[in-house]
A and B are shown apart, each in its own frame.
Chain A
Amino acid sequence: MVDPGGLVTNLAIGFDYALSLRALTFCTIGVTLGMVVGVLPGIGTMAAVAMLMPMTFWLDPTTAIAMLAGIYYGAAYGGSIASILLNLPGTANTAVTCLDGYPMARAGRAGVALMLTTVASFVGSILGLTMLALFAPPLARASQSFGSQEYFSLMMLGLVAASVLTANNPFRALAMVTVGLTLGLVGLDITSGERRFTFGLLQLYDGLPLVALALGLFGLPEVIRNAARSAETRTRPPPVSFRSMLPGREDWARAWRPYLRGSGIGAVFGALPGTGGLIATFMAYAVEKRIHRDPSQFGKGAVEGVSSPEAANNAAIQTAFIPTLTLGVPGDAVMALLLGVLMIHNVSPGLGLVSGNPEMFWGLVVTFAIGNLILLVLNIPMIGLWVRILSIPYSLLFPCIVVFVCIGVYAVRYSTADLVIVMVFAVVGYGMALLRFEPAPLIMGFILGPLMEENFRRSMVLSRGDPATFVERPLSGSFLAACLLLLIWLVVSEIRRRGRSRIDSAN
């Protein structure tokens, strides 16, 4: 399956790109920004990637992805710092780390917890990256046999899985998906030449701009909510010295197996369409707790409880690139944004990217590895710096965010109309947040909307209007069967939940 000689050649090509000054510079910028975003609670990964997107449009696509991906996995490292020191998750995916990380910090073992999570992140990333290097090429080759039916069904599976598995309220998430799909159709319909949902506005003929939509829905509502309560005093994090970070032999002995288990769980969930790091962290934590000799230690500062989820999160981020780069089906909203960046650069995922463009695919693989090495340096000797960044007041931060949003969106095509779209979506996004709608499924739908419609139409033309074609082709049929299973599972768990609440109310 894997040809070792080819692997060496490919890695050489990758190193050739990754060690160029350009790649190193932008990778370092990406991971450092990721750390900043991760450390500061109140700025999400999505918002950061969306904010930086416009600045990558003038880069070549490989460097653009390398930098934006750096923000993603960099934030995963940084997110655990706030989780451990303040009990506030820096990013959503490091929420689980609070459970045992904060108790460790209160017991005076903050440094040890930080060291263990950093190493966990590194181990998880490298194992995930190995999976990416091993499995992406064969999967890309297999994708050659995919017809439009398979693509349609796989995208459907990704969207359904993302809504049903990650959200507490699946109907809300499914509604967000269809709203996103619809927003994705705004603009000129390529097949018929009809302008859809443009309301006569010239600015909408090319469709809604992705950056404006993402910032309006993700970045600004977050700023608005945080600014409104930023008068609350921030707790000062305790100082952490390098010396306090050295774990004892017993800690390592307890951590290495969870590292590997977490990485494995993360690698699997990351690669599946529609699931991602968040589910992987919860699964990893649950598994550690279940197999531990003394589960009562969990929640009181168990080393296993911080090690495994961190490894899982980072492994999932790396393997999430497998479906994105080989099939063009993103697993989560950040991957959807990265896919959007690829499309803006006219790079289409698949065999052409993985095998036909080794500078890009292997360049990215090696750059990610180097980025993780840089993060190791940023996190271990320089930990004190990040702890200090944690105490920057939000009142200084959010006006900067607003300004960078303005300049970033404006600079894409020197269009103030795009900023007006941002204003509209900031209001919409704030309203959505009030009604507890999550924007992530909407963004995934938005990116996949035009692709799904195109594949749907093409399949129906090929089958002469018979929708059975989606079920008759074995691969497409099994994707749809998986969708159906998920929906059945949803209904069953709904009924069981209802039965339980009836018993509760009877008591």
Chain B
Amino acid sequence: MRRLTVNPLEAIAGAAVVAFGLFVLHHATGYELGSARRMGPGYFPTLLGLATVLFGLGIILVEGRRSRAPLPEELALRALGAVVLAIGAFVFLIERFGLVPAVIVTVMISALAEPRPMLLRAALLAVGLAGATALIFPVGLGLRIAILKW
């Protein structure tokens, strides 16, 4: 009897896929299923949800049993946080204060993604990029983005 162990990476990956499929199935029941002849809006999503669950099980039971892939050792949470926060800052600033402040803050926050950020270099880059993007987008391409406002 061969052992029936499943590699943890595939177990997590497959479970995530199965969960997504069940979520889709759950939502698809809210839409009219219709018949094969006249399909309602729920028909195709239901098929897809079923297939997703099936493939998720395939990941766990087939790929998980032969895989030796290790779990990721470290999460780049700092980089992830910095990049997502940088975009968030852009969202917050672009319509309130305009392009130049948005670009400067976005560059500074995303520079924090590195393990040892070089802040002076980032500041110079931020100023240069703010100028360049202001010249390219609102001035050059005529996009309706305010350069600076308060």
By a CB distance below 8 angstroms, the chain B residues around A411 are 137, 143, 145
Query: In the complex, are the beta carbons of B52 and A197 less than 8 A apart?
Result: no
Subset of 20 A-B contacts with CB under 8 Å? A172-B59, A174-B55, A178-B21, A182-B20, A189-B41, A196-B41, A223-B113, A224-B80, A228-B79, A228-B113, A228-B114, A231-B116, A400-B129, A403-B110, A406-B102, A422-B87, A426-B87, A436-B9, A436-B69, A457-B39
A169-B125 in contact (CB<8A): no
A182-B45, A406-B90 as given contacts; A465 in contact with B35, CB under 8 Å: yes
> How does the 8 Å CB contact mask read for B42-57 relative to A, with 1 for contact and 0 for none?
0111001101100110
Return the contact of A398 from the options B20, B59, B72, B113 (Cβ within 8 A): B113
| A435 adjacent to B12 (CB under 8 Å) | yes
Residues of A with C-beta under 8 A to B27: 196-197
Per the bound structure, the CA–CA distance linking A300 and B107 in Å amounts to: 43
Give complex CA distance A434, B55 in Å. 19
Instruction: Compute how far the CA of A461 lies from the CA of B35 in the bound complex, rounded to whole angstroms.
Output: 10
**Are the CB atoms of B12 and A227 closer together than 8 Å?**
no
B147 CB-CB contact with A under 8 Å: no
Q: Tell me the smallest distance from the CB of B116 to a CB of chain A, in Å.
A: 6
Determine if A407 is an interface residue (Cβ-Cβ < 8 Å). yes
Q: Is the CB of B80 within 8 A of A169?
A: no
* Minimal beta-carbon separation of B72 from chain A (angstroms): 5
- CB pair B63 A224 closer than 8 Å: no
Is there an interface contact between A430 and B41, defined as CB atoms closer than 8 Å?
no
C-alpha spacing A12/B150, complex, angstroms: 54
Smallest distance from the beta carbon of A227 to chain B beta carbons, Å?
A: 4
Please count how many residues in chain A sit with their CB below 8 Å of the partner chain's CB atoms.
66
Report the stretch among A17-25, A266-274, A365-373, A412-420 that lies at the interface: A412-420
With A185-B44, A411-B145, A465-B37 as known contacts, state yes or no: A396 contacts B87, CB within 8 Å.
no
Chain A residues with CB under 8 A of B41: 189, 191-192, 194, 196
Please measure, in the bound complex, the distance between the C-alpha atom of A55 and the C-alpha atom of B136, giving whole angstroms.
11
Q: Is A220 on the interface with B (CB-CB < 8 A)?
A: yes
How many A-B contacts are there with CB distance less than 8 Å?
195
Q: Which residues of B contact A406 (CB under 8 A)?
A: 86-87, 90, 94, 102, 106
Query: What does the 1/0 interface line of B16-51 toward A look like (CB < 8 Å)?
Result: 110011001001000110011111110111001101
Residues of chain B from 88 to 126 with CB closer than 8 A to chain A in the complex: 88, 90-91, 94-95, 99, 102-103, 106-107, 110-111, 113-118, 121-122, 125-126
Known A172-B13, A182-B52: A399·B107 in contact at CB below 8 Å? yes
Q: Is the CB of B52 within 8 A of A430?
A: no
Main secondary structure of the interface of B (DSSP, over half): helix
Please give the distance in Å from A177's CB to the nearest CB on chain B: 8
Identify which of A171, A423, A501 contacts B84 (C-beta below 8 A): A423
For residue B149, CB closer than 8 A to chain A, the reply is no
B111 partner, pick from A220, A395, A405, A422, beta carbons under 8 A: A395
Residues of A within 8 A of B117 (CB): 395
Binding site for A on B (CB under 8 A): 2, 9, 12-13, 16-17, 20-21, 24, 27, 31-32, 35-41, 43-45, 48-49, 51-52, 55-56, 58-59, 62-63, 66-67, 69, 72, 75-76, 78-80, 82-84, 86-88, 90-91, 94-95, 99, 102-103, 106-107, 110-111, 113-118, 121-122, 125-126, 129, 133, 137, 141, 143-145
A435 touches B91 (CB 8 A): no
Tell me, in angstroms, the Cα distance from A464 to B82 when the chains sit together.
54
- Residues of B contacting A422 in the complex (Cβ-Cβ under 8 angstroms): 87
Decide if A460 touches B55 in the complex (CB within 8 Å): no
Which residues of B have CB within 8 Å of A181? 48
Q: A169-B59, A224-B83 known; A414 and B31 CB under 8 Å?
A: no
B111 touches A461 (CB 8 A): no
Contact B87 A405 (CB under 8 A): yes
Contact, CB under 8 Å: A399 / B122: yes
- Contact partner, B133, options A197, A223, A224, A403, Cβ 8 Å: A403
A175 at the interface (CB under 8 A from B): yes
B124 closest partner in A (C-beta)? A396
Query: Which residues of A lie under 8 Å from residue B79 when comparing CB positions?
Result: 223-225, 227-228
Q: A400-B129, A465-B36 are in contact. Are A231 and B114 (CB under 8 A)?
A: yes
* Cβ–Cβ < 8 Å partners of A402 in chain B: 83, 86-87, 106-107, 110
Q: How far is the CA of A224 from the CA of B144 in the complex (A)?
A: 30
CA distance A398 to B133 in the complex (A): 15
Closest chain A CB from B30 CB (angstroms):
9
Name the one of B37, B52, B72, B137 contacting A460, with C-beta atoms under 8 angstroms.
B37
* Cβ-based interface call for A362 (8 A): no
Task: Say how far A189's CB is from chain B's closest CB, in angstroms.
Answer: 4
User: B91 to nearest A CB, angstroms?
Assistant: 5
